[in-house]
Amino acid sequence: METLQPKLRFPEFKVDWEKKTLGDLGQVSMCKRILKEQTAIDGEIPFYKIGTFGKVAD
């Protein structure tokens, strides 16, 4: 049986992980031109790319 808890975890996390695909979280698009001004988390398009961590669009 597959476990949904890591071997090492912080004590404040008690519940199992949820398994989701990228499609569950948003739409994956390629080759779209998006201006930097549109990429703020509060902006028109919440845009993330490889290398984006901590929910800070770059």
Domain ranges of the chain: 20-58
pLDDT at position 18: 84
- With tokens 């808890």, the residue in question is 5
- With tokens 């979280």, the residue in question is 25
Per-residue pLDDT of the chain (58 residues), as tens digits, is 677 677 788 888 888 878 888 788 777 776 677 776 766 666 666 666 665 555 555 5
Outline where 1-58 has alpha helix (H).
Answer: 22-25
pLDDT at position 54: 58
pLDDT at position 44: 64
pTM of structure: 0.32
Give the separation between CA 25 and CA 52, rounded to whole angstroms: 15
Residues 6+ apart with CB under 8 A from 19: 4
